[in-house]
Amino acid sequence: MLTLVTGAGGFLGGAVARLLLARGDAVRSFSRSAYPALTALGVEQHAGDLADPDAVARAVRGCDAVVHTAAKAGVWGPEHEYFQANVLGTRNVLAACRKHGDRTLVYTSSPSVVAGHHDLNGVDESVPYPQHYLAAYPRTKAQAEREVLAANGPDLATVALRPHLIWGPGDPHLVPRLLARAGRIRRVGDGSNRIDTTYVENAAAAHLLALDRLRPGAACAGRAYFIAQGEPLPLWDFVNRVLALAGLPPVRRSIPAGCAYALGAAAEVVYRVLRLPGEPPMTRFVAHELSSSHWFDLSAARRDLGYRPAVSMEEGLQRLGEWLRAASP
């Protein structure tokens, strides 16, 4: 079986590619540039931009299935860049699948597509999309997810997975972001909000489970699924445990949630009006994410995909600590 993995040079996409290779599948990647590590693994690489329909079509041609993990992530940036990568890019993947007769597409979405202004305490997939979003990333990912699920039919089976806060050894996003801000992080709110996260191998395994079960008319076809550890805990407990693994002090100072939200709104205005480079020190989306609960009912993923996190939170943290120690100078 030849599977195209978009974004195979990234954190999650790379983990998906390695699992596919480990079980004997052939893997083709589609990324902006070539990665020597993928070449060493035997991955056939196609370089290109998701916004280029011809490049996407060439990568899809001849594949049996597509796992679409590539996206523009982040909490700040021009709306058109998020739209081009997340919406237009996904449309090009869908068009290429239809053109070349691919029958299965596993799409990597995000729980942020249902993040509005309220806590998400143990919600399942029936929770609706909000009317308004606080950032371009969840807004464009939600639009792309809707279009992927709407494309499901007798000729192309689609499914959307929503892994939450992926982390683990090699993490280039969440963990480095925490470590880089150590000493400057403030607890937002009273600290009682709980979250669930996803160890990277569990997130990748969920994609293979979906890939193996997905076909026209399957129970998972045309549906979205939350993916996580199934071990919700207070957000700041998780943050402090990660900091401790790197030998850094815990977060001790705090700021009221309302103040953080107001500061985020003000910072967004300043950065937009003055066209400042980089990312504001706080945004409304970050303030909400840091002060609200977001953990999920995984019953549907267990039932339809057979999803069971193989790596527990404790084991994952142990592996992360070993990686951090090995990476430290």
Q: Tell me which residues are annotated as active site.
A: 137
Alpha-carbon distances of 98 from 150, 158, 176, 272, rounded to whole Å: 13, 12, 38, 39
What 8-state DSSP symbol labels residue 63? -
Q: CA-CA distance, 44 to 27, in Å (whole number)?
A: 6
H runs (alpha helix) in the chain: 11-22, 36-41, 53-60, 79-82, 89-100, 136-150, 174-180, 200-213, 235-245, 257-274, 284-291, 299-305, 313-327
194 touches 231 (CB < 8 A): no
Tokens coding 47:
């370089």
Q: CA-CA distance, 30 to 46, in Å (whole number)?
A: 5
Q: What is the 3-state secondary structure (H, E, C) of 75-111?
A: CCCCHHHHHHHHHHHHHHHHHHHHHHCCCEEEEECCH
Q: CA-CA distance, 52 to 93, in Å (whole number)?
A: 10
